Amino acid sequence: NPLQGAQFMLAAHRLSQLPADEGAEVAFAGRSNAGKSSALNALTNHKGLARTSKTPGRTQQMVAFSLPPPRDGSPEQASQPARRLIDLPGYGYAKVPLDMREHWKQEIDAYLHRRRSLRALVLIVDIRHPLKEFDRLMLQFCADTGLPCHVLLTKADKLSRGAASQALAALRKQFAAEGLHASAQVFSSSAGTGVDEARNAVANLLQQ
Ligand code: GDP
């Protein structure tokens, strides 16, 4: 697993508290309850890494996880650039007060615009509820700035295999129609569907 060995670094309430902006990182975003924490845990093969089913409110922070350098056998492994995964605050939970939602919208926006080590966004979308307003906002941002975006259509185990493939095909068609260049795949943290594919996608994005 190319994402094995992830470790909690810190939780940041503002951009300035994030680790030094060097090396490479991939950020994970998604509406609250879409399955972002479960996806992070499945990808890193670390059950307790990101806390699942947390009370909203408490999720309003960015969490940084460090990854060890990729194992390529080179003797200079220790001097390789840092690699991180960033868990962005879940978005769109109705019970979070509006001013707090606005605050985080701005904070995420600032992060996406300013973070130089950011290589790509992984957008977690419940396969049964594709592309709500927040998802569109993120995709549009990626389209505008050229930031690569990879969509995990998660909770695929809730649909039949045929229905899941149809949802993926429909999403790709929509991307093409709207000029969005995101890649997408079917995913399920609980069934393990697409986990290897997503690990490789993230590892590749970190190398760019
Ligand atoms: P987050 O708020 O986006 O971090 O979402 P969580 O990872 O905490 O998951 C929210 C809920 O969805 C929890 O009850 C999870 O058990 C459930 N869940 C997450 N991923 C999957 C999945 O792939 N399949 C199914 N059936 N449930 C999932």
Q: How much is the pTM?
A: 0.94
SS (H, E, C) the chain: CCCCCCEEEEEECCHHHCCCCCCEEEEEEEECCCCHHHHHHHHHCCCCCCCCCCCCCCCCCEEEEEECCCCCCCCCHHHCCCEEEEECCCECCCCCCHHHHHHHHHHHHHHHHHCCCEEEEEEEEECCCCCCHHHHHHHHHHHHHCCCEEEEEECHHHCCHHHHHHHHHHHHHHHHHHCCCCEEEECCCCCCCCHHHHHHHHHHHHHC
pLDDT of res. 70: 79
pLDDT of res. 59: 53
At 131-187, the pLDDT tens digits run: 998 899 899 999 989 999 999 999 999 999 999 999 999 999 999 999 998 999 999
Decide if pLDDT at 58 tops 60.
Answer: no
User: Percentage of the chain with pLDDT > 90?
Assistant: 69
Query: For ligand 1, atom 26, which residue shows the shortest CA distance?
Result: 155
Q: Rounded to the nearest whole angstrom, what is the distance from the C-alpha of residue 25 to the centroid of ligand 1? A: 23
pLDDT of res. 76: 62
Burial profile 178-193: b = 16 or more Cβ within 10 angstroms, e = fewer: eebebebbbbbbeeeb
Q: Is 128 in the pocket of ligand 1 (CB under 6 A)?
A: no
At 103-123, the pLDDT tens digits run: 888 888 899 999 999 999 999
Domains, the chain, ordered by start: 7-71+79-207 (3.40.50.300)
Instruction: Please state the rounded mean pLDDT for residues 120-129.
Output: 97
Q: Rounded to the nearest whole angstrom, what is the distance from the C-alpha of residue 34 to the centroid of ligand 1? A: 6
> Which residues are bridge partners to 8 per DSSP?
65
- The verdict on ipTM greater than 0.90 is yes
Q: Is 199 in the pocket of ligand 1 (CB under 6 A)?
A: no
Rounded Cα distance, 5 and 20, in Å = 20
User: Percentage of the chain with pLDDT > 70?
Assistant: 90
